[in-house]
Every structure is written in structure tokens, then in C-alpha cells.
Amino acid sequence: MFEKFKSRKFIAAFIGALCPPILAYLGQEIALGEALQLSAAVIVSYIFGQGYVDAKAVESSRSDA
């Protein structure tokens, strides 16, 4: 599990999820509700992407056996 926290995909998703609310707080032209929706979209995309990669790894290991 700790390896996932060090992955580039996780770090990019984490930063991508943090940026919209921070920009909304700093007064950029983005509403807080929209910022939270953008953050949620980044998180969901990461979850689906990681799930796809994990499923392909399991599929690959099953076909090798």
C-alpha cells in the first residue's frame, strides 16, 4: 500500500485534487462547488485508472500461469 503513495500517478492525482479548492480559496475565478467537483473528478479518474491497471496485471498473471 505504501508503494501506491509513492507512485507518480498518485502524486499527480493528489496535486490535481488539491489545486481547484486552493485556487477557489485564493480568489481565482472558480466557485468552491465547481472546485470540489473538479477534485472529485480527479479522484474518481485515479480510482478507475488504477483499477484498470490492477485488473490488467491480474489478467496478465493468470494468462502466464
* Residues with Cβ within 8 Å of residue 5, at least 6 apart in sequence: none
pLDDT in tens, 37-56: 999 999 999 999 989 998 99
pTM, rounded to two decimals: 0.75
- Measured CA to CA, the distance from residue 44 to residue 40 in angstroms comes to 6
Cell representation of residue 1? 500500500
pLDDT of residue 9: 84
Would the pLDDT of 25 be above 90?
no
Q: What is the rounded average pLDDT of the residues 20-44?
A: 88
